[in-house]
């Protein structure tokens, strides 16, 4: 009778953290989703190793490691640093393929993306100057940024930053809150993003000698905030525009419904040039150029009707990198538009596409720049595309330096 040596027991399931070479990792198609190459290309263009995090992997008997979470980060590191680079991994040992698939599903379905509130609170914790300044203004009006749908809370953080950055600064935000709290108290519905920006557009485009604050407050207080927004959205049947512009139009209509001198209608005072002649053609050409560039750089926009903002920003950065700004452009400083590669040194448009063509109320735009308004304000208020607004800013700086 022969005896056999006892076989070593399999290691118990467990986890440990270690750095593994990229070449040792792989994605098991049994449960792992297909690699999104355009996503990898985008991540490669924005790569920051400090934000890589920890990958979740499963140790296999053959010495390789199946990726449970972090496939696109792994592919990004491989593209940038090669297969000999190392990534930090949380290694799960002793799992079967069925266990891996179960854990993959659990990780995927339980992941919670950061909300706007998470990001705002984090920026507040890191003493972000914009967040702290906005919080201080809100505190003076007994308001706060908070996700709860309760009176005294504001949830439209993007609108708050747009008002401060592009529509008139902290003073404009203070003026907007004075109007809204005087008309509606601290009702949470009053601080809808479109309504707040609509008030800012009205205050920015009508001078104090023609727009009377008490009359504005009285007329707004006679309509519920939700009704104001509903009327603004209903205007889309007759006018193309953003909710802030439509809200501004409704606010001016309400103001004019009272006795007294009437304001010029908002769409007359601040006409949109989104479809006007050369401006519309420039926008169409720019969209086509962005799509060509995106296709060449790994972005898949074939099934996307609208170009994502992240792709537009990447395109603009690429164009800025392609050509150096002219050092002798007068008076611009860092705000000068960067000419496209091969474009004229001063004017980025062709001769027949001067920024004056198709842009109504050019004098009004120059006045806006004179008052310190930014490019975003001009884009929203006049419905201009980015390049037209930038070119007009250049014209403004050049006229100031002349």
Would you give the DSSP letter of residue 259? S
For residues 311 and 181, what is the distance between their CA atoms, to the nearest angstrom? 38
Confidence grade of residue 383 (pLDDT, cut at 50, 70, 90): low
Confidence grade of residue 1 (pLDDT, cut at 50, 70, 90): very low
Report helix angle 193-205 to 225-234, nearest 10: 80
What pLDDT digit, counting tens, does each position of 23-34 carry?
999 999 988 988
Whether the pLDDT of residue 154 is over 90: the answer is: yes
Give the sheet arrangement for strand 65-69, strand by strand: 14-21, 86-93, 55-59, 65-69, 25-26
Contacts of 115 (CB under 8 A, 6+ apart): 147
3-state SS assignment for residue 86: strand
Q: What is the pLDDT of residue 271?
A: 81
Assigned token pair, 331? 């008076």
Element (H, E) at 398: helix 386-401
- Dihedrals phi, psi of 113, to nearest 5 degrees: -75, 155
Residue spans of alpha helices (H) in 259-385: 266-269, 277-296, 309-322, 362-370, 375-382
What pLDDT digit, counting tens, does each position of 212-259 carry?
989 999 999 999 999 999 988 888 777 777 889 999 999 999 999 988
Assigned token pair, 251? 């606010």
Poorest-pLDDT segment among 7-21, 86-100, 164-178: 7-21
For residues 380 and 197, what is the distance between their CA atoms, to the nearest angstrom? 10
What pLDDT digit, counting tens, does each position of 35-65 carry?
888 889 888 888 888 888 899 999 999 999 9
Q: What is the pLDDT of residue 47?
A: 86
List, as one string, the DSSP characters of 140-181. HTT-EE-SS-STTEE--HHHHHHHHHHSSHHHHHHHHHHHHH
For residues 237 and 228, what is the distance between their CA atoms, to the nearest angstrom? 16
Q: Which residue segments constitute the domains of the chain, with CATH numbers given?
A: 14-110 (3.90.1530.10), 116-269 (no CATH), 277-401 (no CATH)
Whether the pLDDT of residue 349 is over 50: the answer is: no
Bridge partner residues of 145 (DSSP): 154
What pLDDT digit, counting tens, does each position of 64-95 carry?
999 999 999 999 999 999 889 999 999 999 99
Q: What is the pLDDT of residue 48?
A: 85
- Dihedrals phi, psi of 17, to nearest 5 degrees: -110, 135
Whether the pLDDT of residue 302 is over 70: the answer is: no
What pLDDT digit, counting tens, does each position of 331-345 carry?
333 333 333 333 333
Average pLDDT, the chain: 79
Burial class, 271, CB count within 10 angstroms (exposed 0-12 / middle 13-18 / buried 19+): middle
Distance of CA 381 to the CA centre of its chain: 18
């Amino acid at each position: 009778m022969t005896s056999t040596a006892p076989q070593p027991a399999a290691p118990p399931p467990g986890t440990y953290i270690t750095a593994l070479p990229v070449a040792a990792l792989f994605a098991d198609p049994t449960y792992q989703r297909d690699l999104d190459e355009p996503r990898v290309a985008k991540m490669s263009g924005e790569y920051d190793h400090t934000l890589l995090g920890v990958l979740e992997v499963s140790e296999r008997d053959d010495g390789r490691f199946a990726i449970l979470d972090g496939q696109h980060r792994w592919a990004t590191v491989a593209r940038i640093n090669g297969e000999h680079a190392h990534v930090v991994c949380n290694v799960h040992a002793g799992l079967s393929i069925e266990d891996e698939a179960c854990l993959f599903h659990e990780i995927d379905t339980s992941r919670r993306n950061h909300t706007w509130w998470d990001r705002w609170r984090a920026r507040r914790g890191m003493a972000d100057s914009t967040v702290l300044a906005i919080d201080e203004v809100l505190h003076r009006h007994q308001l706060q940024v908070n996700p709860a749908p309760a009176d005294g809370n504001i949830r439209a953080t993007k609108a708050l930053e747009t008002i401060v950055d592009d529509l008139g600064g902290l003073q404009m935000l203070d003026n907007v809150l004075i109007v809204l709290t005087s008309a509606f108290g601290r009702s949470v519905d009053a601080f809808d993003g479109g309504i707040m920006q609509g008030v800012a557009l009205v205050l920015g485009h009508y001078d104090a000698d023609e727009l009377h604050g008490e009359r504005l407050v009285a007329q707004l207080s006679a309509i519920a905030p939700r009704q104001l927004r509903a009327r603004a959205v209903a205007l889309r049947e007759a006018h193309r525009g953003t909710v802030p512009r439509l809200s501004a139009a409704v606010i001016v209509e309400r103001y004019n419904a009272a006795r007294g001198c009437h304001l010029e209608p908002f769409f007359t005072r601040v006409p949109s040039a989104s479809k006007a002649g050369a401006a519309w053609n420039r926008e169409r050409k720019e969209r086509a150029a962005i799509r060509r560039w995106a296709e060449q750089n790994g972005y898949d926009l074939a099934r996307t009707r609208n170009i994502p903002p992240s792709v537009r920003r990447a395109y603009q950065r690429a164009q800025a990198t392609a050509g150096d700004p002219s050092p002798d452009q007068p008076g611009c400083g860092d705000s000068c538009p960067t000419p496209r590669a091969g474009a004229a040194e001063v004017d980025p448009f062709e001769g027949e596409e001067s920024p004056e063509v198709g842009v109504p109320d050019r004098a009004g735009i120059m006045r806006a720049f004179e008052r310190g308004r930014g490019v975003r304000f001009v884009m929203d208020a006049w419905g201009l595309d980015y390049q037209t607004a930038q070119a007009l800013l250049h014209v403004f700086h050049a006229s100031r330096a002349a």
